[in-house]
Amino acid sequence: MKHVNSTRHPDFYISHKGSAMTIGDHQESFYGKRVLTYQPDKPLQPLETHVYRIATEYDDERSLLDLLTSFLDQVETSKLDSLIIGMWTDAYESSPQPVLDLLIERRDALPALRALFIGDITYEECEISWIIQGSYQPLLNAFPSLEVLRIRGSNGLEIAPFEHANLCELAIECGGLPVAIVHNLTQSRLPRLAHLELWLGTDEYGFDGGVDDYAKLLTALDASRLRYLGLKDADIADDVAIWVASQPWLAEIDTLDLSMGTLGDAGAAALFASDYVRQLKRLDVSHHYMSDEWMEKLQSLPIEVIADEQLEADEDDWRYVAVGE
């Protein structure tokens, strides 16, 4: 068995903090571009190779709305295709709704906007479970050409059922995903969705769903059209693995990502026995509680298997998701 103190996530560090792990660094790349933090007194770099994060700092006298307004006034908005919104003032008690509303107000000047990340906030700025989010249906309606939407935080998050012809990637990062969000996504129509990433989390931080809810969601979305499915950071990782391993549509997707959760031998056995899993290109089960035997069996599958971060349950058999607080 091995334990690690930190692991490199695709674009940020997740580091241990107590029994769980947290997001310790900002996004370094997004939409295929290097991320820069916007500073009004510095010249802007080319938008072709850079994406800007608009964020306040601790005790910042400027509001995020002020910074975003300044940025939109400086940048050639007709060419702005991607944007990251970071820390806003008192994110633990106020939502980014004024920022979302400003983007909606300026939508005619932002015809190229394709990718948004709302909430690039580290645990030092605000714990993920404390982040207050906003209402996203108006934003999605205002930007029908949006392709990528990543949201961090589920406290107060509202996504009413919506229809979007061009959204290809949807990710919700949180410590606990409310089932109401899953139900509303189930009622939505997303014909081009190819990347679905949901962090389920734990019931301590808002998760209140079950496998049946995700089964209905993936049936409604027609999971066979996905190229990437991430049901991550799940306290019910074994149940998710057992169910998903039996689904014929699994053979149609490229990547199944069950990382950051509490996967153990029961889930591993189901994945190993599944003919559908063997048709994946990539299986990510990083941050898991499998025994050496089952980890080695999964790694013997004729596909790419990522099984980093083998952990041990504590003496009371408690397992912890990667990001819970």
For residue range 156-212, list pLDDT tens digits in order: 999 999 999 999 999 999 999 999 999 999 999 999 999 999 999 999 999 998 999
Of 24, 13, 49, nearest in space to 34 by CA: 49
Mean pLDDT over 238-254 rounds to 98
> So where are the chain's domains?
29-306
Question: Tens digits of per-residue pLDDT, 208-217?
Answer: 989 999 999 9
- The answer, yes or no, to whether residue 18 has pLDDT greater than 50, is no
Instruction: Give the integer Cα–Cα distance in Å for 34 and 154.
Output: 26
Instruction: Give the integer Cα–Cα distance in Å for 301 and 306.
Output: 11
pLDDT of residue 22: 57
Question: Tens digits of per-residue pLDDT, 61-112?
Answer: 899 999 999 999 999 999 999 999 999 988 999 999 999 999 999 999 999 9
H, E, C per residue of 263-300? CCHHHHHHHHHCCCHHHCCEEECCCECCCHHHHHHHHC
What value does the mean pLDDT of the chain take?
92
- The answer, yes or no, to whether residue 7 has pLDDT greater than 60, is no
CATH number among 3.30.70.2190, 3.80.10.10, 3.30.1330.10, 3.40.50.2020, domain 29-306: 3.80.10.10
pLDDT of residue 89: 87
What phi-psi label fits residue 270: left (phi over 0), alpha (psi between -120 and 50 degrees) or beta? alpha
pLDDT of residue 117: 98
pLDDT of residue 325: 64
Structure tokens at 206: 């808002």
Residues 6+ apart with CB under 8 A from 134: 95, 96, 97, 100, 118, 156, 157, 158
Residues pairing with 232 in the sheet: 199
Higher pLDDT, 318 or 257: 257
Instruction: Give the integer Cα–Cα distance in Å for 142 and 125.
Output: 29
Instruction: Give the integer Cα–Cα distance in Å for 128 and 323.
Output: 8
The alpha carbon of 291 is separated from its chain's Cα centroid by a whole number of angstroms, namely: 27
Q: SS3 of 10, please?
A: coil
